Structure 1
Amino acid sequence: MNNLALLNLSFKKMGVLFLVLLSYALNAQEDEEMNEKPGYYYDVIGQGKIGFLVPSAYGNNFIADGYDTWNGVNIEAQVNAGERLLLGLQFQAFKGRVMDQELVGPINASSITHFFVSAGYSLLENKNDFQIEATIGFGSATLRNERDFRRFNDTGFAMMASLNFSYRLNYWLGFYIGLQNNWDFWSIERPSELDSVFGNTSIFSPSVGLKFYVL
Structure 2
Amino acid sequence: MNLNSRIKFYCFAFILIFKGICIAQINDSMLEINGGKRLPKNQVLGTYAIGYTLPIATGDNFVGKGLEGKGGYSVDAQLFVFKHFFISGTFGVNYFDVKNKEIIGNYYKAKEGHQYLGLGYEFVLATNFRLGFSTALFGKSQFINTSETNNRVAFQRDTGRIRCYELYFDYMLNKIIALHLNAAYRNDRMDIKTASEIQPLFDNAGFYTVTFGLRLYFGNKDVFSGIKSAK
CA contact (8 A) 2:124 2:131 kept: yes
Gaps of 5+ in 2: 1-37, 220-231
State the alpha-carbon separation in 2 of the partners of residues 92 and 181 from structure 1: 14
The match for 2:203 among 189, 199, 205 is 199
State the alpha-carbon separation in 1 of the partners of residues 114 and 90 from structure 2: 8
CA contact (8 A) 2:57 2:68 kept: no
The residue number in structure 1 matching 2:52 is: 52
How many residue pairs match? The answer is: 177
SS at match of 1:145: strand
TM (normalized to structure 2)?
0.71
Quote the offset at 1:201 in angstroms: 2.2
SS at match of 1:193: coil
Could you report, residue by residue, the CA deviation over 1:155-183 in whole angstroms, capped at 9, with x for unpaired residues? 01121111111122223211121111011
Quote the offset at 1:190 in angstroms: 0.7
Percent identity over the alignment? 23
CA contact (8 A) 1:41 1:171 kept: no
Could you report, residue by residue, the CA deviation over 1:110-151 in whole angstroms, capped at 9, with x for unpaired residues? 1012222111101337x8331111111132111012122222
State the alpha-carbon separation in 2 of the partners of residues 43 and 122 from structure 1: 10
The match for 1:166 among 164, 170, 183 is 170
CA contact (8 A) 1:84 1:122 kept: yes
Task: Map 1:1-215 onto structure 2 (within 5 A).
Answer: 39=39, 42-124=42-124, 128-137=127-136, 138-148=138-148, 149-215=153-219
- Find the structure with the greater CA-based Rg: 2
Could you report, residue by residue, the CA deviation over 1:27-51 in whole angstroms, capped at 9, with x for unpaired residues? xxxxxxxxxxx84784422101111
TM (normalized to structure 1)?
0.76
Gaps of 5+ in 1: 1-37
